[in-house]
Amino acid sequence: MLVGRITTCVAVVESMLRNELPFPMLPRTLALVDDDRLYADGLSRHLRDLGVDVANFVDSTDLLASADPYAFEFYVTDLMLPGVDGVDLIKVLRRRTSAGVLVVSGRLAADTFKQVVKAGADMYLSKPVQFEQVELAIEAIQRRSATVNPTQNTWRLDQRIAQLVAPDGARIDLSERDRALLECFLEADGAVVPRETLLRRLGGTTDQEASGGLNGTVFRLRRRIERATPATVPLQAKSGVGYAFRAPLKAI
């Protein structure tokens, strides 16, 4: 059954190649997590030639410890990795980002396909695989993501009763500090809000930031969202700059 699914997946990609789609949809930034240096170097060169900014990581822990692990527009990962296992890595990514995730791996256990899909991967290709097939799989995932109705991913800020409403309808009660933060994100419309701006809105100073005040507020809000809904938490840190709400946010 697993081999059949993999074969079907590859056949779909090859069919796309024959159709010669005129408008490739490739991400601007991509994290490639694979400890097979020869394969990773070759795939990176192929994607960079197409204009993709590729960052290579031979260890999943290296990705998670990088400055902005959740800021990439796309992820291609192996499963058999040093550090965090590939399936667990996908689960971590899915808690922080809705970016596309493609698994390219030689692991052929009977339940591999089920594991990666349940973890949150968008597609699974089995090695050996041609670089062009990986490219087209990425395009397919990007195209599907672009056609999703954006209102399905919209978060709503109910300022009257101080609640954040997730896309699935879950409601998260907000403290005054939470609401102040989210009002900043609402005004920023997806852009990164500098730490100084957030601190001023909270009525704080850089001394409070040094003690973890802002970071603590964001962390606690993120944890409450995680407990309330399985939706990806859109709060993201921009190292050395500030925070952003990487999903549509509307006031109600």
Distance between CA atoms of residues 187 and 192, nearest Å: 11
Second-level CATH architecture of 2-147: 3-Layer(aba) Sandwich (3.40)
Confidence band of 233 (pLDDT split at 50, 70, 90): confident
Using 50, 70 and 90 to split pLDDT, how confident is the model at 146?
A: low
Q: What is the pLDDT of residues 114-132, one digit of tens each?
A: 899 999 999 999 999 999 9
pLDDT at residue 151 tops 80: no
pLDDT of residue 247: 86
Fold of domain 151-251: Arc Repressor Mutant, subunit A (1.10.10)
Dihedral sign computed on CA atoms, order 150, 124, 41, 61: positive
N- to C-terminal Cα separation, the chain: 47
Q: Is pTM beyond 0.75 here?
A: no
Q: Predicted confidence band at 142 (pLDDT cuts at 50, 70, 90)?
A: confident
**d(C-alpha 118, C-alpha 132), whole Å:** 26
Task: Give 175's contacts (C-beta < 8 A, 6+ positions apart).
Answer: 162
- pLDDT at residue 5 above 70? no
The residue type found at 1 is M
Can you give the pLDDT at residue 95?
Answer: 85
Asked if pLDDT for residue 211 goes beyond 50, the answer is: no
Taking only the tens place, the pLDDT of each residue in 35-55 is 999 999 999 999 999 989 999
In the chain, domain spans:
2-147, 151-251
103 band by pLDDT with thresholds 50, 70 and 90:
very high
- Tokens 């879950």 correspond to 170
* Three-state DSSP state, 115: helix
Per-residue confidence at 1, pLDDT binned at 50, 70, 90? very low
**Mean predicted confidence (pLDDT) in 16-24:** 42
